[in-house]
A and B are shown apart, each in its own frame.
Chain A
């Protein structure tokens, strides 16, 4: 496997289910991100992990719970979601930018989530 992989690619769940999205990066990066893309809206940053520590939580409801067990893996645990949470969930990774450098993010293919 190369790059950033996400599983599952598609997920349909009821509002009372608990499920998890998985992301794995094979690029040697040390920062990982979760984004949400809803129809006709820009990508919204949800969570940022830098060196396995959460550094950003963009006012995301607690029904979304991230986990980063190591620098290569990132999970998004889902429970009691609402139909409006249906969206494309994208994972990305990058090197942590230094004080005088920038680093682009590399994205996975996303998980298309439908909440019934």
Chain B
């Protein structure tokens, strides 16, 4: 049973437009959410996170929105740039006061076209 789902395997967006990547989760114990970006032949790179006490977190061109009632989060990238082309993973964690254990989605491949 997949607790973190990214239902869109791929997304194509024109340069300069907004990219919206979506993620749904089922475990109501999750209280911390992260987005990672992965280029080929590299490990995932941390992008942005949000805790469940917030509904929005912004860092430059990247904003993550959290809708706890819908168990849904989204990553907005605006404006999108060709260098943003990568696979984006959503991850969630339930706080345990010890090492964080992340549950990942399957990823969404973003292609930013010129």
Residue B43 CB within 8 A of the other chain: yes
Write the B73-114 contact mask toward A (1 if CB under 8 angstroms, else 0). 000000000000000010001011111111111110000000
A94 to B49 CA separation, bound complex (whole angstroms): 14
Give the complex CA separation of A40 and B49 in angstroms. 24
CB pair B46–A102 under 8 Å, yes or no, is: no
CB contact list, A64-116 vs B, under 8 A: 90, 92, 94, 96-99, 102-110
20 residue pairs of the A-B complex, CB under 8 angstroms, read: A31-B98, A31-B100, A33-B99, A40-B106, A41-B106, A42-B2, A42-B4, A42-B103, A42-B104, A45-B101, A90-B43, A90-B44, A96-B99, A98-B97, A102-B32, A102-B51, A102-B93, A102-B100, A104-B49, A107-B45
Contact B102 A45 (CB under 8 A): yes
Task: List chain A residues, Cβ under 8 A from B4.
Answer: 42
> Does A4 belong to the interface (CB within 8 Å)?
yes
Known contacts A43-B89, A107-B43; A102/B106 CB under 8 A: no
Q: Which residues of the other chain, A, contact B45 by a CB distance below 8 angstroms?
A: 107
Residues of A in contact, count (CB < 8 Å): 30
- The count of chain B contact residues (Cβ–Cβ below 8 Å) is 28
Contact A99 B43 (CB under 8 A): no
* B residues lining the A interface (CB < 8 Å): 2, 4, 32, 34, 36, 41-46, 49, 51, 89, 93, 95-107
Is there a chain B Cβ closer than 8 Å to A55's Cβ? Answer: yes
Known A6-B43, A109-B41; 20 more pairs at CB < 8 Å: A4-B43, A31-B98, A42-B2, A42-B89, A42-B106, A42-B107, A43-B44, A43-B104, A45-B101, A49-B99, A50-B99, A97-B95, A102-B100, A104-B46, A104-B49, A105-B102, A106-B46, A107-B43, A107-B44, A109-B42
The interface residues of chain B lying within 8 Å CB-to-CB of A21 are: none
Chain B residues with CB under 8 A of A33: 99
Complex CA–CA separation, A33 to B102 (angstroms): 10
